[in-house]
Structure 1
């Protein structure tokens, strides 16, 4: 059964690659995933572009384990030398947009769900969600499914981790900052130039350090990522807009980060766009983590964001592929990584389910 599932997984991934599925435009890939469920003879439901199913012998008295990965992609960057929408195999590598992030994870988890679907003796229920809008953190992704699917107790979120265990993940708060000044003609003296006023502000953000670190996630990472101001060469603007990206460790809540920066940042205005993308983790003594360690997987804290951020239960990020390839030109995944991923997922869950 496993070998057949591996073959079908690669074929599904090829179909996903060759179907455009930018965030909120996943209709085509949703149809391919529906077809895969039909081939497996597994009942499923579709909520917008999210496809989901539960194991055959679902028992409400048991705890529930979520298996999740996404089928949306970012847009291809201009450095591609290959057709991003052509599934091309060269030297054991499957090229194409979304192959690594997170198509390989998705088809592997779907295969694992099918492998355990008809088992009667499971200690956990299984819920599989192939979700939309992960890359854009949109309103119709996994976050929208949490009131629709059964209540979950723990989750495995499929993202490329080389099948190691990301036991914690940083959260994200994005801030919009305004630095003000006095507008004027560029030919006249102006000691309150908003652009020059940004210099000490940028230095403050560059040098600011949050006090509390984390054993698994390290320090909070604060980065000025955008700046804009002024419309023409001879007019000094009244204000400059700055965007600050803050990656939050598990020593702070997003709300605490907002309160700290609002009270300390030397700016006229600083506003958070959202507080919902929180840091996430799973206890090191959780059965899933212990099982992963017992089969030789390493543990680490992840600096990148995933759908873990919308979950309130313990969650583990784990999947085939390498995060370094995500959003890169000529994205690829090794075929052996998908096969190995399916094997390792099954070996892990056999110890828990």
Structure 2
């Protein structure tokens, strides 16, 4: 029989060994080199669907460090005609039965915002902030997993790590992450870390260090409203589709939505009424687009039924057809998810946070959608968002806190050691 005191000693030694291993890998991540990398990434123009230059940069950076990257083709011919490349790399662990962890970041940004009062790709650093379009969303997180992955290359890991830098997260369909699912990359994985900026888009006010353990999902209603044309001087002889669409849009704002203990409330936001336009005619037809962010339990059937009930209650003169935005495939949508706080990944990242910052992480949940929904909902992987914070994401004056970029790199590297070592 094992002596309990010897077992306690062994457990203590294992803890000390893990702490030493985390310290070793995090010390390989240099602050100045990480921020220099971030500056180079920000200076590469990379709006969604225009990621060729940054994809090649990420590939070459990994290749120069003998990390054996590969170009992973992304193709969507039907709706967008897009052709591009994700960048993948792998670190194989020593134990084939140990977990495999996905590290993910996207390479693209939103379209360049015209309101910048300086070069939007400057990468200027001032007062601990690095400025540029996409600096926070999410080239800071991309730099973080690049340097973390490089630091892990010399670690003695039982489990494996798959690095993925993907295209088109900011675009309409998340085509890069979708291709990972289509090609079975996520089938190899047991959990995922996404380094999106977390606190700025959390449901509640939290500060880094933070782990976000879930996210709301999203549907985009695409609604056809068909009225009856007539001369504009005699509107009573027609049925005004634009007016009916306006009534429907207003009603959507008062729609009762679901609520969830962790994810909070769902939300509805009418986005666009498109149609009409004749000089002097009652608008015959128009289209209404409505955003709906959903929580766990609000399925496609529920969301459709809610809209149909709203139309029925309004008793509009127009014929209304409820549908959703066209997608490359029926499953290409952002479903809500929640990761159990008892998942080993959460514990491992908590160990990384404590080792790097000396603090316990705040726990939060993401208010919007992204590639993490594909991993957490569609691929059903325990998925955690941990990323550097900043301000003005998607807008002029966007910046990321440089110290947090380095912290996130070290937290992710430490978490990998804890989970996989």
Work out whether the TM-score is over 0.5. Answer: yes
- Aligned partner of 2:3 in structure 1 is none
- Aligned partner of 2:403 in structure 1 is 336
Contact kept? 1:180, 1:197, Cα under 8 Å = no
Mark the runs of 5 or more structure 2 residues left unpaired by the alignment.
Answer: 1-24, 74-84, 199-207, 313-318, 355-359
User: Judging changes above 3 Å, is the alpha-carbon distance between structure 1 residues 185 and 251 closer, same or farther for their aligned structure 2 residues?
Assistant: same
Deviation at 1:4, TM superposition (A): 5.3
- Aligned partner of 2:204 in structure 1 is none
User: Judging changes above 3 Å, is the alpha-carbon distance between structure 1 residues 59 and 5 closer, same or farther for their aligned structure 2 residues?
Assistant: farther
State the distance in 2 between where 1:237 and 1:214 align: 40
State the distance in 1 between where 2:410 and 2:212 align: 18
User: Judging changes above 3 Å, is the alpha-carbon distance between structure 1 residues 125 and 181 closer, same or farther for their aligned structure 2 residues?
Assistant: same
State the distance in 1 between where 2:118 and 2:102 align: 35
SS of the residue 1:343 aligns to: helix
State the distance in 2 between where 1:199 and 1:34 align: 49
User: Judging changes above 3 Å, is the alpha-carbon distance between structure 1 residues 138 and 156 closer, same or farther for their aligned structure 2 residues?
Assistant: same
User: Judging changes above 3 Å, is the alpha-carbon distance between structure 1 residues 189 and 101 closer, same or farther for their aligned structure 2 residues?
Assistant: closer
Contact kept? 2:191, 2:345, Cα under 8 Å = no
- Aligned partner of 2:153 in structure 1 is 117
| Greater mean deviation of Cα atoms: 301-310 or 6-15 | 6-15
User: Judging changes above 3 Å, is the alpha-carbon distance between structure 1 residues 37 and 157 closer, same or farther for their aligned structure 2 residues?
Assistant: same
- Aligned partner of 1:252 in structure 2 is 298
Contact kept? 1:280, 1:308, Cα under 8 Å = no
Contact kept? 1:281, 1:316, Cα under 8 Å = no
SS of the residue 1:178 aligns to: strand
| Greater mean deviation of Cα atoms: 143-152 or 277-286 | 143-152
State the distance in 2 between where 1:56 and 1:118 align: 11
Contact kept? 2:92, 2:160, Cα under 8 Å = no
- Aligned partner of 1:319 in structure 2 is 387
Contact kept? 2:47, 2:112, Cα under 8 Å = no
State the distance in 1 between where 2:303 and 2:396 align: 34
Contact kept? 2:253, 2:269, Cα under 8 Å = yes
- Aligned partner of 1:194 in structure 2 is 241
Q: How does 1:25-44 map to 2 (within 5 A)?
A: 25-44=50-69
Q: 1:286 aligns with which of 343, 356, 359?
A: 343
State the distance in 2 between where 1:283 and 1:345 align: 19
Larger Rg belongs to? 2
Mark the runs of 5 or more structure 1 residues left unpaired by the alignment.
Answer: none
Contact kept? 2:130, 2:399, Cα under 8 Å = yes
- Aligned partner of 1:309 in structure 2 is 373
State the distance in 1 between where 2:256 and 2:362 align: 29
Contact kept? 2:223, 2:321, Cα under 8 Å = yes
Deviation at 1:9, TM superposition (A): 2.4
- Aligned partner of 1:153 in structure 2 is 190
- Aligned partner of 2:162 in structure 1 is 127
Contact kept? 2:138, 2:197, Cα under 8 Å = yes
Contact kept? 1:24, 1:133, Cα under 8 Å = yes
State the distance in 2 between where 1:189 and 1:73 align: 46
Q: Which has the higher helix share?
A: 2
What is the total number of aligned residue pairs between the two structures? 350
Contact kept? 2:28, 2:151, Cα under 8 Å = no
Q: How does 1:138-177 map to 2 (within 5 A)?
A: 138=173, 140-146=175-181, 147-149=183-185, 151-161=188-198, 162-177=208-223
